[in-house]
Structure 1
Amino acid sequence: MAINQKIFNGLQVNRSLLAGGVVLTGIGSVLGAAGAALVCAALFTAGRDWVRSMETAPTTLAQRALHEAKVASSAGWEAWRAEHGSPN
């Protein structure tokens, strides 16, 4: 039996191989996190530039859509009341 191996209930673990795997996994995790951060930064910048280049601000578009939805809902409600003869 080699010095870097230990027997634990019949399981022999090569400690140097295990340590190397842990180190490589850690390095890969750090590189993966750095890559994900770069992708997020690029997408955030592109989205921000796209919003800035719009003719109408997104808040204005949302307010307009909400107003149109309210008008359509009110018109639908009035049509339903007229059809069913409800005084409410």
Structure 2
Amino acid sequence: MVTNRRILSEVRVNRSMLAGGMVLTAIGSVLGAAGAAMVCAALLTAGRKWVRSLETPPAALAQRALRDVKTASAAGWEAWRAEHSSPN
């Protein structure tokens, strides 16, 4: 334990440099967050404009796809039942 105390007592941290680094890191974090928010806002705006420019709204495309899936599922189920139906 004496060795650890001696090593730790010899370590001298430049407090002004440490404080300056912390301030610069905080400023950089705030600027980074602001930049990320601006990028997100720009992408959101562009996405909204793109969706508005579509001929068919995404909800209609989703409804069409769901109807197609239901139709295909029913057809597959009927084909399976016809193939595996028991004569009873």
TM-score bucket (shorter structure): 0.7 to 0.9
Shift in Å, 1:83: 0.7
Aligned amino acid, residue 14 of structure 1: N
| Larger RCO: 1 or 2 (CA < 8 Å, sep 6+) | 1
Aligned to 1:68: 68
**CA RMSD, Structure 1 to Structure 2 (Å):** 1.4
Runs of 4+ in 1 over 6 A off after TM superposition: none
Normalising by structure 1, we get a TM-score of 0.85
Q: Percent identity, please.
A: 74
Aligned: 1:41 with 2:41: yes
Aligned: 1:83 with 2:86: no
Normalising by structure 2, we get a TM-score of 0.85
Q: Deviations over 1:19-59 (max 9, x none)?
A: 00001001100110010000000000000000000000100
Separation of aligned partners in 2, 1:44 and 1:86:
56
Shift in Å, 1:9: 3.6
Whichever structure has more strand as a proportion of its residues is: 1
Aligned to 2:5: none
Shift in Å, 1:85: 1.4
- Equivalent pairs counted in the alignment come to 80
Whichever structure has more helix as a proportion of its residues is: 2
Secondary structure of the 2:12 match is: strand
